[in-house]
Structure 1
């Protein structure tokens, strides 16, 4: 897995993100764009990120881009290889197990910490609906993105910017595992109804029930990914 991210499609899409930088371009904003693109699968695990091409696409300096790469390396989305450059990270099975430990701690705690209903579920509901619509169109990568947004929204119920930042990195890292799977439908379709059930339970004001459901959900997902992933590992 050492292909360069040099194809026209990725760079054309990335150039469209240039407008997001505005006049106050910073390494953090560049890192945010690249983080989202990595999560979406535009840059796949094992791909080398070309400083020149990406810098030109975004219209940023090499120093700014290198700082963005450093931030994403700290977030475990990239790895730096001496004299070779920055590469999108390839996860190990141990990485995946650790990611699920963090998810269980954060997502379940966010639901457990809810006080009196009704709960602010707009983002959760929007993600559930987006996932169902993507599945109806057989757009399974979009379904995966909606699923990530669902879990980000659950963590967001904690009302903590620090939790939000943490989960953005954790969930983006998890997407690296799914990007090397051959059949995304297999991993996303079974959870559509479970997402809906968790939402409905929260709408009914039963946070304790939703937390129990989420705990079983995350354990089932962890086991499923771990069982399938070693075939792709390395």
Structure 2
């Protein structure tokens, strides 16, 4: 794959993800509105013959609980997808750049993930990643993403310690707008706008990195298409 084709693929990927975020957000908002309206009007259990008011309230609460929890799991999955795009884009930039300069990115062993990409870009391609608010968020998101994927959405890795003493606790608790932390350590993404904004930042970041690599190759007189 050459750089031109990769840029086209990257644009297609982030375009698809962006469309999916918007469609999913609209769907969930409409679904929540229908559930709330039906619950308030007593329509949720219209097909069930229930005369006990407590049972009626219980069933309506169950429907709301199911709606909220479904949204949380969907948000977590979408969060993973958007952050995987960022890592994929940066690593592919490095891998293809390495091919053009006669190097092998796979043999570069300094750090992992987006940090590995950042170090490689700096050391091998003279490209400095700006460690501003975007990179800080990417780092937070990557830590949370890895926790969701590798530890079942729970921050507890040392069962001899309380939730508040876990390594990633401060990261999660200082970003309450985006992350919801349960008493038992489970983490759920609770803000679709946060996912959308993070994805927008990732798209811009990957494109800037692609442009920087392209310019560096041109400076070195390396042909690319």
With the shorter chain as reference, the TM-score category is: under 0.3
RCO higher in structure (CA 8 A, sep ≥6): 2
Q: TM-score, normalised by structure 2?
A: 0.27
When the two structures are superposed, what TM-score results if normalisation uses the length of structure 1?
0.26
In terms of Rg, which structure is larger? 2
